[in-house]
Amino acid sequence: MSCRRPNTVAVVGLGGMGSRMARRLLGAGYQVTVWNRSREKTLSLLDLGALPVHTPAEAAARAEVVITMVSDPEALHDVTEGPAGIAAGAGTSSTVLEMSTVGPAAIERLRSALPERTGLLDAPVLGSLHEAESGSLTIFVGGPRPLFDQAKPMLSELGTPIHAGDLGCGAAAKLVANTAHFDTLATLGEAVALASGLGLSRAVTSQVLAATPLALQAERRQRAIETGEYPPRFALALARKDARLISEAAAAAGVRLKLTPAAETWLAEADELGLGDQDYTALLEAILPRRHRSGILGQGPPGVPTKYDGLIVDLDGVVWRGGAADMIEGAAGAIAAIRANGTQVLFLPTILAALEVPSRQRSASVASLPRRMRS
């Protein structure tokens, strides 16, 4: 990159973040070239004046600065290496701004793939769709200070750039930030689960958490906890990927982590529940499954009778109440599925009556259960 302000930029990867960043650069007067694996994602940007290309190599050949915003290290390898990759088209005056969350190891590999004189900054972002659209991202930048200074005006159109140190430090800083996010959210979920299990009301739980370092997160996540709704900002599947990158980076650096691997297991559980496309805060759904929500919303203290229509208690002490608030169809099949996973279940026949299963269907349902589970 020369000392003057670059005018041409290519954006490779037009998902939710990349497309919004390209739109902001177009609005700031840059000549923007775009490439995405699926061409339909380029169309709205072409209407705003962006120029399409057929390959990442062509994008790099046409621009002074190439921004990559892709999902993971494998996707970065795909768009940067090989005859159609960015490395094949980048020149000695080009600068690559790698803005994905891929970890330090991927940045090291990218540096070795690019021509020696091609500039490289790793500049992952903290923030999501709203911040990308409004230009309020926090951008952690690693690389030579002079190169950072030259890129800063362009990056400032997207948010607040922070020089984190040498190449790879931007990627490292992003993993540190995500570690704090994931660990805090998992800790909040477990604290609420414990409060529920110990019989604390919602009001008391809120008061307790308000007096702890979790106060801000507890307030911010209260609606999600109560409703079980997680509008996507940062996909849980991507958070799970980031947690894996954190574990890998920590292992490579000889750093022992215990909280983050635990948070990673919650993310994995939520992903396997089919919540990968929802916001990463849906990991709370794994920690606080539906059967616990009555407790979260205000279960009475121990010893106060609770009215319910049916009850299943497994040997881990998990209580499932079958009432109007969480009516469950097909109890027999659900119980069989639970047992198939190795969980031993105490079956109370009142649950079938509570679910208002017709008598003929009730008999069939009971008959479908293993003999030792029938009443």
What is the domain-level CATH number for residue 273?
Answer: 1.10.1040.10
Q: Using 50, 70 and 90 to split pLDDT, how confident is the model at 175?
A: very high
Distance, in Å, from the CA atom of 79 to the CA atom of 57, rounded to the nearest integer, reads 8
> Residue 298 falls within a domain, yes or no?
no
Say if residue 147 is in the same domain as residue 55: yes
Distance, in Å, from the CA atom of 275 to the CA atom of 267, rounded to the nearest integer, reads 9
> Residue 302 falls within a domain, yes or no?
no
> Residue 3 falls within a domain, yes or no?
no
* Closest to 260 measured CA to CA, from 172, 191, 187, 326: 187
What is the domain-level CATH number for residue 117?
Answer: 3.40.50.720
Write out pLDDT tens, residues 285-307: 999 965 444 443 333 334 444 44
Distance, in Å, from the CA atom of 241 to the CA atom of 76, rounded to the nearest integer, reads 14
Q: Give residues with Cβ within 8 angstroms of 84, minimum separation 6.
A: 55, 56, 57
Say if residue 30 is in the same domain as residue 141: yes
Q: Which of 148, 167, 186 is the last residue of a domain?
A: 167
> Residue 317 falls within a domain, yes or no?
yes
Cα 105 to the center of its chain, rounded Å? 20
Say if residue 25 is in the same domain as residue 159: yes
Write out pLDDT tens, residues 101-145: 999 999 999 999 999 999 999 999 999 999 999 999 999 999 999
Say if residue 354 is in the same domain as residue 233: no
* Closest to 228 measured CA to CA, from 185, 184, 287: 287
Residue 104 pLDDT: 97
**Of 221-230, 339-348, 354-363, which range is least confident?**
354-363
Residue 4 pLDDT: 61
Domain that holds residue 336: 307-373
Q: Which of 124, 150, 167 is the last residue of a domain?
A: 167
Q: Which of 167, 195, 217 is the last residue of a domain?
A: 167
DSSP labels, 68-124: E--SSHHHHHHHHSSTTSHHHH--TT-EEEE-S---HHHHHHHHHHS-TTSEEEE--
Say if residue 155 is in the same domain as residue 223: no
**DSSP code for 24:** H
User: pTM of the predicted model, to two decimals?
Assistant: 0.76
Q: What is the mean pLDDT of residues 274-290?
A: 91
How crowded is the C-beta side of 274, counted as CA atoms within 13 Å? 0
65 within 8 A of 98, measured Cβ to Cβ? no
94 within 8 A of 56, measured Cβ to Cβ? no
Residue 366 pLDDT: 39
> Residue 297 falls within a domain, yes or no?
no
Q: Which of the pair, 277 or 316, is modelled with greater confidence?
A: 277
Distance, in Å, from the CA atom of 297 to the CA atom of 231, rounded to the nearest integer, reads 20
Say if residue 123 is in the same domain as residue 139: yes
How many domains are contained in the chain? Answer: 3
CB pairs under 8 A, 24+ apart, for 296-304?
A: 296/192, 296/195, 296/196, 296/202, 296/205, 296/225, 296/226, 297/202, 297/226, 298/201, 298/202, 298/203, 299/196, 299/199, 299/200, 299/201, 300/199, 300/201, 301/199, 301/200, 301/201, 302/198, 302/199
